[in-house]
Amino acid sequence: MRPLGRVPVRHRVIAAFALGSVAVSAVVAVVTWNLTTGYMLQQREQSVTRQALVNARLVDTRLASGSSDLGALLTGLASSPEAAIFVRQPDGWISGGTATDNIDVADMPSGLIDAAGRGDIARQRLRVGGAPLVAVAMKLGESKASYVEVFPLRDLDRVFQFISITLLAGVLASGLLGGTIGWWASRRVLRPLTELTAAAARIAHGDLSTRLPERDDKDLGPIAAAFNETASDLQERVARDARFASDVSHELRSPVTTMAAAMEVLVRRRGEASPAARHAIDLLDADLRRFRRLVGDLLEISRVDQGAFRLSAERLDLAELARYVLARSSNGKPMAVEAPGPVPVLGDRRRLEQVVSNLVDNAQEHGRGLVRVAVCHADGLVRLEVDDAGPGVPAADRERIFERFARVSDRDRRIEDTGSGLGLALVAQHVRLHSGQVWVTDRPGGGARFVVELGGAR
Amino acid sequence: MADRLLLVEDDPRIRTALGLGLADQGYEVVEAGSGEAALKLIKQDDFDVVLLDLMLPGMDGFAVCRTVRSQGDLPIIVITARSGSEDVIRGLEAGADDYVTKPVVASELAARVRALLRRARPPVPTVLAAGDVRIQPDRGVATRRGEDLHLTLTELRLLSELAAADGRVVTREQLLERVWGYDYFGDTRLLDVHVRRLRRKVEDDPSAPRLVLTVRGVGYRLAGRDE
């Protein structure tokens, strides 16, 4: 059995309501049953006793006068078809009444007859052949004979049966009603909680504008207010962070432009410089390039964070796009793109170009070089695969590697790394904007394989 | 003789550095710190290309662009801060021939200038016909039913490329490469805005073009004589 704590609150409330109302209605039913049946039986017994006394007196008188046809008299006295009368004569029992076929004096409890013999008026309920009866026994005054009269209780029994069925049905109905009320009440009470859960889930999924409706309720109002306040704080903070990143990169752009333009003059005039100055120029140039890329990537990312982006989708051939990116990347000899032919997608050319080039850069900077680039159809989707010759990405890092500035334990990191730390994060973001997916897996034969899956264009 | 560039940029450090770089690339550079100063200089002096920052205090780059365009076909390259924003489209709509995105270096600007000026100097005297439009690329003139259409150099080059294809489709990539000197990664917005501007000048109803036709997903073509 599972512990009660694991049963949902709603089920516990329903059970409590149902059991409570069953208990109350059962007590009421038992009391009703006892009072009703007790009273009715008592009434019936009193009336049959009175009847028996009258009959007994009549029989006594007749016996005293020495009447012979006692049987006929007894049958005449028996009030109903199921009644019977027995009179003990010195020579045995005489019986009368239509029910004597079924009822014999031997069915009468001996205690009853003994009590009658002692001169009491005895009364007992009994069943003969399944039929409920009440027997009244007494001693006749003058003839000293024992008199037993049996009355049927079948009608009363039927009434009792009806009452018991009614009461039982009542108990069941009240249990059901209690359960229903419990269900309704728990639903009502839990509704704010359900709303809270749904709202929290929406926030967890990134919809920070989720709010709960204001409530006047003294108990629930503060919860909703506290939740809303937390959500606004969170939203504000996220927006502030995004704005900060955007502001920083915007502010950086002017000095970067100046530096890059001035640097270019220096690089062009590199030949005129002394060896030491030349070395300094090279160092500055390399890091300035990296810095430019970082500022550019940061701007690109913060633009989407702030929602100020526009995906200009057009129909283009992913295979061709990959081919051009590879042709343009000057690193090493150009590589062919494996493709079954044109692979049309609907996408933002500039962003998809960045996806491919960032993956290629990643393979060259962190994966010991690019091994293969393939574009293909897969289950109605379009897939881009970029393989490298590196050690692969450990399973634990496969999600994290797409985070911003994720630094994976990377022994193959090169000194002349020009990455911004945002390359793969931008890939993930762009692919997400295209409603696609990106993941990294093992390349058959070693190395990492980055897979981008996008919806194809018809 | 060196080509004369007018560099309009309000940030003095960026202006100085870019001016230095462009001069180093062999151009004669005149600098202006505001839109008003730039317009005054243009009135006084002859330039081959204007390099125009869109974010200027006072009269902004869009207004400068429109003013320059209303006065003639002096080629304009706008310098925008954001490649993804509406600024690019607005700048092109205002009449710019091309755009670059900050941070920009002098060699990039110089490459754009070279492509633009190549457009400005068609080599061989020829006459092309497109519908009732006659194009004389060497003279830089296009006329329609004898009337000058006042096309900019870029629009003229675009129309010439389409006319030279003689009714066949010219892909977007081909147009971006031939007119703007871009490789595959030219911005197609550049093309779309210029086609829109061209249609405004050569079509009776620019929203239902009968001469410059779109071939969806591929490019553009000119309607033949019998269409």
> What's the pLDDT score for residue A419?
65
Specify the CATH number for the domain of residue B194.
1.10.10.10
**Coil, strand or helix at A234:** helix
Convert the pLDDT of each residue in A315-354 to its tens digit: 888 888 888 888 777 655 677 888 888 888 888 888 888 8
Tell me the chain B residues in contact with residue A300 when contact means C-beta distances shorter than 8 Å.
84
Are A269 and B107 in contact (CB < 8 Å)?
no
What are the E-state strand segments in B25-136? Answer: 28-32, 49-53, 76-80, 98-101, 128-130, 133-136
Tell me the chain B residues in contact with residue A255 when contact means C-beta distances shorter than 8 Å.
13
Taking CA–CA distances from A324, the nearest residue in chain B reads B184
Q: What is the mean pLDDT of residues A115-135?
A: 83
pLDDT at residue B217 above 90? no
Question: In this structure, what token pair is assigned to residue B218?
Answer: 């591929």
Convert the pLDDT of each residue in A155-199 to its tens digit: 888 999 999 999 999 999 999 999 999 999 888 888 888 888 888
Residue boundaries of the structural domains of chain A = 4-162, 221-305, 313-455
CA distance B24 to chain A (A): 7
Residues of A with CB under 8 A from a CB of B: 250, 253-265, 268-269, 292, 295-296, 299-300, 303, 308-310, 312, 314-315, 320-321, 324, 328, 349-350, 353
Domains identified in chain B, total number: 2
User: CA separation (Å) from B59 to A365, A394, B81?
Assistant: 46, 56, 17
Q: Assign A115 a pLDDT band (cuts: 50, 70, 90).
A: confident
Convert the pLDDT of each residue in A428-440 to its tens digit: 988 988 889 999 9
B13 and B108 fall within a common domain:
yes
Tell me the chain A residues in contact with residue B107 when contact means C-beta distances shorter than 8 Å.
264
pTM of the model: 0.62
Q: Assign A8 a pLDDT band (cuts: 50, 70, 90).
A: confident
B55 touches chain A (CB under 8 A): no
Phi/psi-derived region of residue A341, left when phi > 0, alpha when psi is between -120 and 50, beta in every other case: left
Q: Which long-range contacts (CB under 8 A, 24 or more apart) does A287-293 make?
A: A288/A256, A288/A259, A288/A260, A288/A263, A289/A418, A290/A417, A290/A418, A290/A419, A290/A420, A291/A256, A292/A256, A292/A260, A292/B103, A293/A418, A293/A419, A293/A420
Tell me the chain A residues in contact with residue B16 when contact means C-beta distances shorter than 8 Å.
258
Q: What is the mean pLDDT of residues A78-107?
A: 77
Q: Which residue has the higher pLDDT, B32 or A305?
A: B32
Among the CATH numbers 3.40.50.170, 1.10.287.130, 3.30.930.10, 1.10.1740.10, which is that of A221-305?
A: 1.10.287.130
Residue in the block written with tokens 């516990």? A12
Any domain includes B148: yes
Residue B150's identity, in one-letter code, is H
> What's the pLDDT score for residue A410?
53
Specify the CATH number for the domain of residue B87.
3.40.50.2300
Question: In this structure, what token pair is assigned to residue A369?
Answer: 């070089």
Phi/psi-derived region of residue A290, left when phi > 0, alpha when psi is between -120 and 50, beta in every other case: alpha
Helix intervals (H) in A306-375: 318-328, 349-366
Convert the pLDDT of each residue in A371-384 to its tens digit: 889 999 888 889 99
Tell me the chain B residues in contact with residue A329 when contact means C-beta distances shorter than 8 Å.
none
> Which architecture, in CATH terms, is A4-162?
2-Layer Sandwich (3.30)
Among the CATH numbers 1.10.3720.10, 1.20.120.160, 3.40.390.30, 3.30.565.10, which is that of A313-455?
A: 3.30.565.10
